[in-house]
Amino acid sequence: MSKLYAAVIAALLIVPAAHAQEAKNAPAPAKMSAADIKSTLDAAAADPAKVKAYCAMSKKMDEVGDDQKKAEAAGDEIDGYFKVLGDDFENAWDAGQDAADETPEAKAMDEGMTALDAKCK
């Protein structure tokens, strides 16, 4: 399993309950296009603070794997990384995860995550 897909699976397990409650109370963000996802992830890759947060988040997600107890324990830490990465990043992340395979949005997510992962080495 690729690092990207492992991170996506881990993210699905980690979504904190607070985010779920906030989502119920907030209007849904507009659907992001492939171009929006790409530009958002490119901007994150160009920002050293966001790259640092993304790399730390990715490392934590790798540590968690698909262990539900570890995911719950790491939820606040992962949430903190998403706060550093910002709402635009989180919206792009969600849009990329929700995109059907082989769509332009899924491809933009994969390319963006690959670029970010390359900066974590």
Give the model's pLDDT for residue 66.
85
Return d(Cα 39, Cα 44) in angstroms, integer. 9
> Does the pLDDT value for residue 4 go beyond 70?
no
Reference 10, options 58, 81, 80, 79; nearest CA is 58
Mean predicted confidence (pLDDT) in 84-100: 93
Mean predicted confidence (pLDDT) in 60-77: 88
List, for residues 14-67, the tens digit of each pLDDT value: 555 445 555 555 555 558 999 999 999 999 999 999 999 999 999 998 888 888
> Does the pLDDT value for residue 3 go beyond 80?
no
Mean predicted confidence (pLDDT) in 73-84: 91
What's the gap between Cα 43 and its chain centre? 14
